[in-house]
Amino acid sequence: MNRARIKDIAQELGVSPATVSRALSDSGLVAEPTRSRIREAAQRLNYRPNVSARNLRTQRSMAVLMVVRDVGNPFYLDIMKGVEAAAREAGYSVLMGNTENNAEREVEYFDMLRDGHADGMILITGKLPEREGFPQELADLPVVVALEPIEESGFPHVMIDNAGAAREAVAHLLSLGHTRIAHIAGPIPEPMAVLRREGYRQAMREAGLPIPQGYEAVGDYLLRSGETCCRELLSLAQPPTAIFAANDEMAFGAINELRRLGLAVPEKISVVGFDDIFLSQAFYPPLTTVSQPRTEIGTEAMRLLLKVLAGEDRTGEVVMMPTSFRVRGSTAPAG
């Protein structure tokens, strides 16, 4: 059986295609008997509207593009889930984008937006096409940025207070009596990594503690860099008694390295992470960390995008989502 068209239903019932379209789209302009006859026929003929035709006519795709830096990174999962849920609720489908930190790819996704592939885009990449300044034609597109700030883009952002949360994490270590607290940063100078390090510095400053030479290691958010940075920190003349890592994965690397060095966590050294990823609480020891409301970040970003798509001007708006600090088993009072 070939796919039924609006025309087929119209012919079958002896009405015009326009009436069928109206009846099916619930425009309320169709008299009751006609309406039900049409709906019944559509059902019977197994009618489904052709999206390409509709999109062409309405000039919208009812799809959004969700672009992440690396689809393989579990960290984005819940955000994607949140976006998906909010999108489907609003009748939008979600196209998946993956830049792999490749500038060209990022441009491609902006292009897809302009092609009509999608009506709007949620960027979770922390990067922008590397052009001179920020082109105005891009800035006017319906884009919402989540998680990682993209400076001077003017796009509305949904984020957490990275610096504030980092400060809180370090404050926890301070409250446990630690004074020799080191930091394993993310890939400086990425904004998020800088902000988390800034929070660390602030907390130390507020506690009146100097940051000793070598106490700020720089990693790349991956397990192995947590290990190597940890080793460096421990080889210092005055090694730290606590480590604040800029993300959970590096914290795990650090903990594993400490175990290899025979240093018990949290008895000998405390470790704090950031992100509260999947299974962070299942690790041994369960990781003390900053929990981000990832799903909510996703839904909020999508909601914001819907408003932008509805024509609201949200330029420069920043929505801060609350984090919560989870004290678990990887931190203990200073020996």
Residues in 9-48 at the binding interface with a second copy, rule: CB under 8 A: 48
Binding mask 183-202 for a second copy (x = CB under 8 A): --------------------
Q: Which of 11, 26, 53, 312 binds DNA (CB under 7 A)?
A: 53
Cα(243)–Cα(254) distance, integer angstroms: 8
> Of the listed pieces 109-117, 166-174, 189-197, 212-220, which binds a second copy according to CB under 8 A?
109-117
Cβ neighbours around 69 below 10 Å, total = 23
Beta bridge partners of 65: 95, 121
What is the nearest approach in angstroms of a second copy to the Cβ of residue 80?
6
Closer of 56 and 261 to a second copy (Cβ): 56
Minimum separation from the CB atom of position 65 to a second copy (A):
9
63 touching DNA, by CB under 7 A: no
CA-CA distance, 320 to 128, in Å (whole number)?
Answer: 21
d(CA 124, CA 44) in angstroms, rounded, equals 43
Residue selected from 34, 153, 228, 256 as contacting a second copy according to rule CB under 8 A: 256
Per-residue burial over 272-293, b if 16 or more Cβ lie within 10 Å, else e, is bbbbbbeebbebebebbbbbbb
Residue 49 interacts with DNA (CB under 7 A): yes or no: yes
Q: Cα separation of 123 and 303, whole Å?
A: 14
For a second copy, the binding residue among 29, 74, 139, 177 (CB under 8 A) is: 74
Pick the binder of DNA from 25, 36, 102, 175 (CB under 7 A): 25
In whole angstroms, the minimum distance from the beta carbon of 208 to a second copy comes to 36
Calpha distance 142→60 (Å, rounded):
13
* Residue 333 structure tokens: 């009072």
- The reply to whether 72 sits near a second copy by the rule CB under 8 A is yes
Q: How far apart are the first and last CA of the chain?
A: 77
Q: Which residue, 53 or 96, is less far from DNA as judged by CB?
A: 53
Residue 29's binding partner out of DNA, a second copy, none, with CB under 5 to 8 Å set by partner kind: DNA
Nearer Cβ to a second copy, position 73 or 175?
73
17 near DNA, judged by CB under 7 A: yes
Among 1, 43, 46, 59, binds DNA (CB under 7 A): 59
Beta-bridge mates of residue 318: 157
Q: What is the DSSP letter of 152?
A: T
Q: Could you tell me if 119 and 94 are in contact, meaning their C-beta atoms sit under 8 angstroms apart? A: no
Contact window for a second copy (CB under 8 A) among 74-82, 156-164, 175-183, 304-312? 74-82
Nearest-5° Cα angle at 160, 322 to 265: 85
Helix or strand (DSSP H, E) at 245: strand 242-245
Quick check: 215 binds a second copy (CB under 8 A)? no
- Pick 44 or 205: Cβ nearer a second copy: 44
Instruction: For residue 288, list its beta bridge partners.
Output: 272
Single-letter amino acid, residue 246: A
Q: Is 7 in the site for DNA (CB under 7 A)?
A: yes
Report the C-alpha gap between 204 and 113 in whole angstroms.
44
Whether the CB-CB separation of 242 and 208 falls below 8 Å is answered with: no
* Contact between 328 and a second copy per CB under 8 A: no
Q: Which residue has the tokens 């930190």?
A: 101
- Give me the residues that bind DNA (CB under 7 A), please: 3, 5-7, 14-19, 21-22, 24-25, 29-31, 33-35, 47, 49-50, 53-54, 56-59
- Give me the residues that bind a second copy (CB under 8 A), please: 1, 3, 48-53, 55-56, 59, 61, 63, 66, 71-74, 77-78, 80-81, 84-85, 88, 93-96, 98, 111-112, 114-117, 137, 223, 249, 252-253, 256, 259, 278-279, 282-284, 295
